[in-house]
């Protein structure tokens, strides 16, 4: 078996805390553990990801809609990829760029494509993947928007369509957060590409197909309506209570009956948790989220904690799974770090408290809707709040000058389409 050829990372003097996934949850957990364990050299903090950067997902829709002639692909990547070496420069977190092949929960071992690592504590924070609801043609022909490569491919495809065609239909499957944000910015991109290539913008239709009765239907009705009005006011076609039931190289089928020509299909209609590699025997819900205790660890394996989109945790009030968002993932990472520290100190663990979520939904140009429990702000001020939230996040993970530099660079690139 290949395993024996792999280098084993086993320092007998130290105990390993291994974090799988350098997304919002994993990065937060690693930074907080580094801080909490500063006087505990007997612990090694190891963060493993297949990439050597964190993807700032919240801005992927912007990256996918930067105009070709204005921004080169290398710069697009820089806007949403934050190097892990910058984040962990002044810490003792060891970052391994490796693909996790399997996790052996019984012997406490992580097998990657380059080494085997034993752990005393493990954090599972591998994020999520697109859910195609078993429709294989959708998986084959739909573009997803989950990483930097997706963003670059989508923008190349849009450029290709506008260059070669005089009219086209671009379909976005799913009117949730990602679908709504992407739709608005795609409209701007099409507008700019049409001007650049001397095409008629009104001949390029953007259609959002959504299964429920409104855009981002998890938000209160008035906010959903505001989002729908903004997009339809820009000329986008919104189809509610409609499912994409089949896709092909140049068509989509709606509700099993209506076949439409389609030049680009972007699927943002659902996510499910990324499966833990090696499929260890862990209890999961129907979206593959791992069932955890109030303290965010697994009942059968209390030294394994779960954070971010991997987490299957029911809100005690609504009895619904907690949202799969970056802000939740950051909260999880923070609590998981605290609880690992408390377990080491042999103190009782803290339970997870569902927080009051705030949402910012950017909808093309310098416009965004900010929503929290009792407050809705929309328009330019919403956009300013969004820019401030981005800066706040970068400051929370990067040294001041790097955070500011990244934010200014991102702002400059993303404003080119506005």
Ligand X SMILES: Cc1cc2nc3c(=O)[nH]c(=O)nc-3n(C[C@H](O)[C@H](O)[C@H](O)COP(=O)(O)OP(=O)(O)OC[C@H]3O[C@@H](n4cnc5c(N)ncnc54)[C@H](O)[C@@H]3O)c2cc1C
Residue (53 or 341) nearer to ligand X, CB? 53
Residue (146 or 199) nearer to ligand X, CB? 146
Least distance from ligand X to the Cβ atom of residue 346, Å: 28
The answer for residues whose C-beta is within 8 angstroms of residue 120's C-beta and 6 or more apart is 15, 16, 17, 43, 108, 303
Residue (218 or 241) nearer to ligand X, CB? 218
Least distance from ligand X to the Cβ atom of residue 336, Å: 11
Q: 210 with 240: CB under 8 angstroms?
A: yes
Q: 268 with 178: CB under 8 angstroms?
A: yes
Can you name the residues that pair with 266 across neighbouring β-strands? Answer: 143, 172
Least distance from ligand X to the Cβ atom of residue 166, Å: 30
Residue (113 or 412) nearer to ligand X, CB? 113
Residue 174: left (phi > 0), alpha (psi -120 to 50), or beta? left
Residue (253 or 264) nearer to ligand X, CB? 264
Burial group, residue 221, by CB count within 10 angstroms (0-12, 13-18, 19+):
exposed
The answer for residues whose C-beta is within 8 angstroms of residue 101's C-beta and 6 or more apart is 111, 112, 113, 277, 278
Q: 298 with 290: CB under 8 angstroms?
A: yes
Least distance from ligand X to the Cβ atom of residue 244, Å: 18
Residue (49 or 193) nearer to ligand X, CB? 49
Least distance from ligand X to the Cβ atom of residue 326, Å: 3
Residue among 224, 210, 212, 216 at smallest CA distance from 171:
210
Residue (253 or 398) nearer to ligand X, CB? 398
Instruction: List interacting residues with ligand X (CB under 6 A).
Output: 21-26, 48-51, 57-58, 60-61, 99-100, 125-127, 145-146, 177-178, 274, 277, 308-310, 324-327, 329
Least distance from ligand X to the Cβ atom of residue 309, Å: 4
Q: Name the phi and psi angles at 354, rounded to 5.
A: -70, 125
CB atoms within 10 A of CB 345: 9
Hey, is 45 helix, strand or coil? strand
């Amino acid at each position: 078996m290949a395993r024996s050829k792999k280098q084993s990372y086993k320092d007998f003097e130290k105990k390993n805390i291994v974090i799988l996934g350098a997304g919002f949850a994993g990065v937060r957990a690693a930074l907080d553990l580094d801080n909490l364990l500063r006087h505990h050299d007997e612990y090694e903090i190891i963060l493993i990801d297949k990439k050597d950067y964190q993807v700032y997902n919240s801005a992927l829709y912007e990256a996918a809609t930067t105009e070709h002639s204005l921004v080169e692909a290398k710069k697009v990547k820089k806007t949403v990829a934050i190097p892990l070496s910058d984040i962990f420069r002044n810490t003792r977190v060891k970052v391994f760029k490796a693909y996790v092949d399997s996790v052996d929960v019984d012997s406490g071992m992580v097998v990657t494509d380059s080494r085997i690592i034993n752990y005393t504590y493990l954090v599972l924070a591998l994020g999520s993947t697109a859910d195609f609801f078993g429709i294989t043609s959708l998986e084959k022909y739909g573009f997803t928007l989950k990483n930097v490569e997706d963003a670059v491919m989508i923008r190349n495809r849009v450029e290709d369509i506008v260059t070669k065609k005089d009219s086209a239909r671009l379909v976005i499957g799913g009117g949730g957060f990602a679908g709504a944000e992407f739709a608005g910015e795609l409209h701007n991109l099409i507008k700019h590409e049409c001007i650049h290539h001397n095409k008629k913008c009104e001949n390029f239709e953007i259609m959002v197909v959504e299964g429920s009765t409104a855009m981002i239907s998890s938000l209160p009705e008035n906010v959903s309506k505001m989002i729908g009005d903004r997009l339809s006011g820009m000329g986008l076609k919104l189809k509610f209570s409609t499912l994409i039931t089949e896709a092909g190289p140049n068509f989509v089928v709606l509700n099993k009956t209506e076949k439409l020509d389609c030049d680009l299909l972007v699927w943002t209609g659902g996510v499910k948790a990324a499966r833990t590699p090696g499929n260890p025997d862990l209890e999961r819900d129907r979206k593959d989220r791992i069932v955890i205790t109030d303290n965010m660890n697994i009942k059968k394996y209390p030294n394994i904690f779960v954070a971010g989109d991997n987490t299957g945790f029911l809100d005690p009030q609504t009895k619904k799974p907690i949202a799969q968002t970056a802000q939740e993932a950051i909260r999880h990472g923070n609590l998981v770090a605290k609880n690992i520290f408390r377990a080491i100190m042999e103190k009782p663990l803290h339970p997870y408290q569902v927080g009051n979520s705030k949402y910012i939904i950017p909808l093309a140009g310098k416009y965004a809707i900010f929503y929290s429990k009792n407050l809705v702000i929309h328009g330019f001020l919403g956009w300013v709040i969004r820019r401030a939230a981005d800066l706040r996040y970068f400051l929370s993970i990067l040294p001041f000058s790097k955070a500011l530099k990244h934010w200014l660079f991102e702002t400059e690139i993303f404003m080119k389409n506005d």
